[in-house]
């Protein structure tokens, strides 16, 4: 298809890294080896690994989970994110304005997704302490931005730790979602309109496994 731009997530990461390392980026947050690159599991970590390699920066993960609407789990009513023990949540007001959600059903979704979030933290990080964010430039990376719920939750979790600046970087995102992010800088390599689904802009958008995430983290600069 003519609108495809990326062979796979690693290719997307290399193209994104090229934008982030351009010497004449306008009004840019300075990036370099002192930055911390945080990938959103699962697929965002493969993109983030390429960005971290290009910057010579540390790579880690910020655990996130979409809160799917009861009965329609593909539709996000919000999201959770955590750095260490602290959990932040955001709501998708545009979705909740059109869908009534029972409090008990919403609470059950949150319990299930929080359990999966904690499982992923353990799977990817083991007993390593959370990364140090205070006073650092943090680059949040995902493989694409549709509604923006998970990235907004990740932003909230990272902001709570007191970084010097936060850059959100994605290979592809909807124009509205990219524009709505409250980050110091937002880099979206591709912002097509109309948007469609993230996978539309990849030749290979297969599911990323836990083993692939662990392997990417193991190869990254520390």
Q: What residue spans in the chain does CATH classification 3.40.50.2020 cover? A: 9-64+126-219
Q: What's residue 1's pLDDT?
A: 39
Q: Mean of the per-residue pLDDT values for the chain?
A: 90
Instruction: Tell which CATH classification among 3.40.50.720, 1.10.287.1060, 3.40.50.2020, 3.40.50.1110 matches the domain 9-64+126-219.
Output: 3.40.50.2020
Is the pLDDT score of 195 beyond 80? yes
pTM: 0.91
Residues 6+ apart with CB under 8 A from 56: 32, 33, 221
- Could you read off the pLDDT of 96-153 as tens digits, one per residue? 888 888 889 999 999 999 999 999 999 998 888 888 999 999 999 999 998 888 999 9
How open is the CA angle 24-28-31, to the nearest 5 degrees? 90
The single residue listed with the structure tokens 């524009």 is 179
**Closest C-alpha among 189, 187, 196 to residue 167:** 187
């Amino acid at each position: 298809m003519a609108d495809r731009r990326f062979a796979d997530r690693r290719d997307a990461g290399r193209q994104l890294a090229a934008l982030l390392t351009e010497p004449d980026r306008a009004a840019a947050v300075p990036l370099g080896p002192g930055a911390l690159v945080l990938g959103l599991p699962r697929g965002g970590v493969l993109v983030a690994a390429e960005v971290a390699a290009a910057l010579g920066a540390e790579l880690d993960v910020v655990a996130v989970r979409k809160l799917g609407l009861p009965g329609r789990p593909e539709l996000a009513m919000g999201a959770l994110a955590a750095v260490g023990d602290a959990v932040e949540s955001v709501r998708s007001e545009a979705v909740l304005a059109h869908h009534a959600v029972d409090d008990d059903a919403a609470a059950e979704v949150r319990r299930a997704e929080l359990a999966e979030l904690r499982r992923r933290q353990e799977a990817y990080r083991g007993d390593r302490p959370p990364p140090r964010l205070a006073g650092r430039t943090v680059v949040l990376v995902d493989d694409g931005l549709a509604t923006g719920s998970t990235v907004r939750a990740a932003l909230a979790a990272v902001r709570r730790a007191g970084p010097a600046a936060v850059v959100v970087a994605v290979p592809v995102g909807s124009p509205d979602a990219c524009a709505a992010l409250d980050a110091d800088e937002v880099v979206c390599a591709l912002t097509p309109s109309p948007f469609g689904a993230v996978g539309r802009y990849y030749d290979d958008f297969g599911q990323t496994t836990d083993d692939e995430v662990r392997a990417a983290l193991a190869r990254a600069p520390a």
